[in-house]
Structure 1
Amino acid sequence: MTTNSISSADSSWTGMVPVDDTALAVTDTGGPGIPLIYLNGQFATQGYWRRVLADLGPEFRHITYDERARGKKSKLSADYSFEACVRDVDAVLAARDVDRALVVGWSYGAFVGAHWASRNPDRAIGAVLVDGAQPYDWLDEAMEQRIRKLFKRLGWITPLLRPTGLTPRMTAAQQAECNIELGKVSRARELGPVLDDITVPTRYVLASGSSFGSRGDEQELIRASLDAVCAGNPHLRISAKVASNHDHILRKDFHAVAEAVREVAAFDHSGH
């Protein structure tokens, strides 16, 4: 059962979608257009997509949501795993009575979107993956310790920002474990087969330079792994590489993301 609020003016819907031991805050603009479901960065919120939504406009149906313990309203959970995030895509789509959708994911959400598209070839219209879902072995023991120290160091400030929804209602240890698990999901032997199995049109939009917590040219080395991936799977292509960095791409280069969505959506109309 969902709790909700419906606007008769534009058929938009906002409400809570129960899943497992929690509930997720969801917004659905409604309308007859191709459904787009947006998958957030690891600790980000649905508000990050507002410029992309505005650029794409009412031609599309936009479904956004905050993951477990993210944002102001989504509830806590005993499970913050990557697999739980993939399951949540199905839960949100089912609650909104959507069978087929185009997934748009940024950063962590790009990994979730790649997995969902790979597992659901009959339900995925396509995918747009924004500076994420790149197979690269960046996690080692030293990196694990670096991640744990980083989140422990930030532990004093994140609780102060939680009322704003800008930081998750998770402990520093939980946030670190999520990031470490992402490193394992990112490994070439883990992610490579997932990307190889994608059979729907998929476009990457890549940032340039660094991201929060990265050093030197780490991010550029990770992005370079996509050359071989795209060469091996004709369904995957790099749509654009933009000037903004990882953290600012949805704010500064939202138009490139919107254009990639339009490119993928055109396949659903033309079949080619």
Structure 2
Amino acid sequence: MTTKSTSSIRSQWTGMVAVDDTALAVTDSGGPGIPVVYLNGQFATQGYWRRVIADLGTDWRHITYDERARGRKSGRSTDYSFEAAVRDVDAVLAARGVDRALVVGWSYGAVVAAHWAARNPDRTLGAVLVDGAFPYDWLDDAMEQRIRKLFRRMGWFTPLLRPTGLTPRMSADQQADSNIELGRLSRERELAAVLDNLTVPTRYVIASGTSFGSRGDEQERIRAGLDGVFERNPNIRLGAKVASNHGAILRKDFPAIAEAVRDVAADSRTNSHD
């Protein structure tokens, strides 16, 4: 099995990748290592991965990008759907000449990674899902209203932070719609079917405690939805459960994420020789 891009000798590159009606800000470390593409949280940026990337070092080819209307440079779009997010993975990899990659996703990005890996088993070396992609029916009418109210409340100050790249250039309704769509995609019958179809080495790194907007033990109940997944699919395992919460996991527990990437890559090599 070849684990390198056909263009793996490329040097470091930063620029814009055109896709649909917009363009995405992309960074590619280049080099001959295994390509790893990092998929961000719903409204996060590629900078969140810097500690994981530093821990892994220069033996890997790191590809990061900001999703539509996120960060400082990625353009606005008329389509912020989940399917657009999955298509953007293809667009970025194609633009950088990468045929096969290991996908690492956090939160919303974990769901994108799971879907992309399930749809592209021959192009996926493995997946690391960081505190996301939990099959659980957490969205109901009351939660939908709670989400819309939360984003409208934040609407007065988020535009002030947009020049820094810390908040997306999306309206409160667009952000709420994206979050609600995620809830529908995360329903047990929907997401469990995707995870059950994963045929590549996959590791979860799970946080503890709460996430933004959650209450009480909601997040821990959602994480428990993985129990059945681990039982049904031997390709999917728990890499680690760490002490930090959802929002701090990339900052405080990056060594566990980097170790899961190494573990998946080693597993992928072993399977290729079976």
Instruction: Determine if the TM-score, normalized by the shorter chain, exceeds 0.5.
Output: yes
What is aligned with 1:129? 129
* CA drift at 1:11: 1.6
CA deviation profile, 1:106-164 (whole Å, cap 9, x unmatched): 00000000000000010000000000001000000000000000000000110000000
In the alignment, the residues of structure 1 paired with residue 238 and residue 177 of structure 2 have an alpha-carbon distance, to the nearest angstrom, of: 30
- Equivalent pairs counted in the alignment come to 263
- Alignment of 1:95 with 2:95, yes or no, is yes
**5+ unaligned residues in a row in structure 1: which ranges?**
1-9
Q: State the secondary structure of the residue aligned to 1:25.
A: strand
In the alignment, the residues of structure 1 paired with residue 75 and residue 245 of structure 2 have an alpha-carbon distance, to the nearest angstrom, of: 30
Q: State the secondary structure of the residue aligned to 2:259.
A: helix
- Alignment of 1:117 with 2:87, yes or no, is no
In the alignment, the residues of structure 2 paired with residue 18 and residue 267 of structure 1 have an alpha-carbon distance, to the nearest angstrom, of: 34
Structure 1 residue identity aligned to 2:53: L
Spell out the pairing of 1:1-272 with structure 2 (5 A cutoff).
Answer: 11-271=11-271
Q: What is the aligned-residue RMSD (CA, Å)?
A: 0.8
In the alignment, the residues of structure 1 paired with residue 83 and residue 151 of structure 2 have an alpha-carbon distance, to the nearest angstrom, of: 22
In the alignment, the residues of structure 1 paired with residue 238 and residue 167 of structure 2 have an alpha-carbon distance, to the nearest angstrom, of: 31
TM-score by length of 1: 0.96
Structure 2 residue identity aligned to 1:145: Q
In the alignment, the residues of structure 1 paired with residue 242 and residue 191 of structure 2 have an alpha-carbon distance, to the nearest angstrom, of: 24
CA deviation profile, 1:48-78 (whole Å, cap 9, x unmatched): 0000000000110000000000000000000
CA deviation profile, 1:222-255 (whole Å, cap 9, x unmatched): 1011111011000000100000000000000000
Q: State the secondary structure of the residue aligned to 2:31.
A: coil
In the alignment, the residues of structure 2 paired with residue 130 and residue 50 of structure 1 have an alpha-carbon distance, to the nearest angstrom, of: 15
CA deviation profile, 1:80-119 (whole Å, cap 9, x unmatched): 0000000000000000000100000000000000000000
State the percentage of identical aligned residues. 77
* CA drift at 1:270: 2.4
Structure 1 residue identity aligned to 2:199: T
In the alignment, the residues of structure 2 paired with residue 176 and residue 268 of structure 1 have an alpha-carbon distance, to the nearest angstrom, of: 37
Structure 2 residue identity aligned to 1:81: S
Q: State the secondary structure of the residue aligned to 1:183.
A: helix
In the alignment, the residues of structure 1 paired with residue 112 and residue 61 of structure 2 have an alpha-carbon distance, to the nearest angstrom, of: 20
Q: State the secondary structure of the residue aligned to 2:118.
A: helix
Q: Residues 207 and 244 of structure 2 are in contact (CA less than 8 Å); yes or no, is this contact kept in structure 1?
A: yes
In the alignment, the residues of structure 1 paired with residue 62 and residue 209 of structure 2 have an alpha-carbon distance, to the nearest angstrom, of: 29
In the alignment, the residues of structure 1 paired with residue 94 and residue 30 of structure 2 have an alpha-carbon distance, to the nearest angstrom, of: 14
CA deviation profile, 1:9-39 (whole Å, cap 9, x unmatched): x921000000000000000000000000000
In the alignment, the residues of structure 2 paired with residue 96 and residue 226 of structure 1 have an alpha-carbon distance, to the nearest angstrom, of: 33
TM-score by length of 2: 0.95
Q: Residues 200 and 268 of structure 2 are in contact (CA less than 8 Å); yes or no, is this contact kept in structure 1?
A: no
**5+ unaligned residues in a row in structure 2: which ranges?**
1-9
CA deviation profile, 1:186-241 (whole Å, cap 9, x unmatched): 00111111000000000000000000100000000010111110110000001000
Give runs of ≥4 in structure 1 deviating > 3 Å. Answer: none
